[in-house]
């Protein structure tokens, strides 16, 4: 991968110096995982940061006997940074939702790079603050109707990871349990709302291709309260 493509794919590196990009590319390790494979396990010590080159993963946490999905991540995003920054065991695990390609950079080398490149350090802080704001926004939605909450999830996935196509913005067909968890609604609510959105023509569910097309992003954003 060329440095320009690297910085375009991963927003974290958009402001990094050419020297930093070349260094990171030279030390990055490529990984491929099939759907359903655990990438990182909870309570394991953080030894690397991972970057999603392609595919989809879910971040989940064990709560007693329950397993709750906290986030869905797609291409261009990263995970594993918290465990290396505070030098503690991971509080969540990460599982591939689809076949996924990842790049990893060892904790020690990544921390060294953050200290050397102040622009990268600043960008890292910006993206972590953005994640915190997104978490706060989801908390503010907790009393909203399920349809509004699910529309927000779909719009967010489309804006962050969607691929423009002739049929609409393409995202992975997230399993209902995971979609319901990240939206903070029940599986039954998620199923009924997705069916209704499909019948209205706002989305198109392609079960065979394991994708969902967000056909009418404007209507979804309006339902989500973002317009």
Q: Which pLDDT score is estimated for 157?
A: 97
> Topology of 142-224 in CATH?
Arc Repressor Mutant, subunit A (1.10.10)
For the chain, domain boundaries: 3-139, 142-224
d(CA 108, CA 22): 17
| Class in CATH terms, 3-139 | mainly beta
With a cut of 60, say whether residue 43 has pLDDT above it: no
Q: Which pLDDT score is estimated for 181?
A: 96
Q: Closest Cα to residue 124, out of 13, 2, 27?
A: 13
Strand partners, 51: 78, 103
What pTM does this model have? 0.88
- Tens of pLDDT, residue by residue over 110-132, are 888 988 898 888 898 898 888 88
d(CA 190, CA 180): 6
With a cut of 80, say whether residue 42 has pLDDT above it: no
């Amino acid at each position: 991968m060329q440095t320009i493509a690297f910085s375009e794919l991963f927003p974290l590196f958009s402001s990094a110096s050419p020297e930093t990009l070349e260094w990171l590319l030279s030390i990055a390790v490529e990984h491929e995982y099939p759907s359903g494979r655990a990438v990182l396990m909870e309570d394991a010590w953080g030894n690397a940061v991972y970057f999603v080159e392609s595919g989809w993963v879910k971040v989940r946490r064990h709560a007693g006997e329950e397993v709750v999905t906290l986030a869905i991540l797609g291409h261009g995003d990263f995970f594993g940074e918290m465990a290396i920054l505070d030098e503690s065991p991971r509080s969540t695990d990460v599982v591939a939702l689809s076949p996924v390609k990842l790049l990893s950079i060892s904790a020690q080398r990544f921390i060294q790079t953050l200290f050397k490149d102040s622009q990268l350090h600043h960008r890292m802080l910006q993206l972590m603050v953005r994640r915190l704001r997104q978490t706060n926004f989801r908390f503010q939605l907790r009393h909203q109707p399920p349809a509004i909450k699910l529309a927000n999830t779909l719009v967010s996935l489309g804006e962050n990871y969607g691929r423009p196509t002739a049929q609409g913005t393409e995202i992975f067909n997230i399993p209902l349990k995971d979609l319901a968890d990240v939206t903070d609604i029940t599986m039954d609510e998620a199923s009924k709302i997705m069916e209704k959105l499909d019948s209205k023509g706002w989305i198109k569910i392609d079960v065979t291709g394991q994708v969902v097309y967000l056909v009418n992003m404007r209507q979804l954003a309006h339902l989500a309260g973002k317009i």
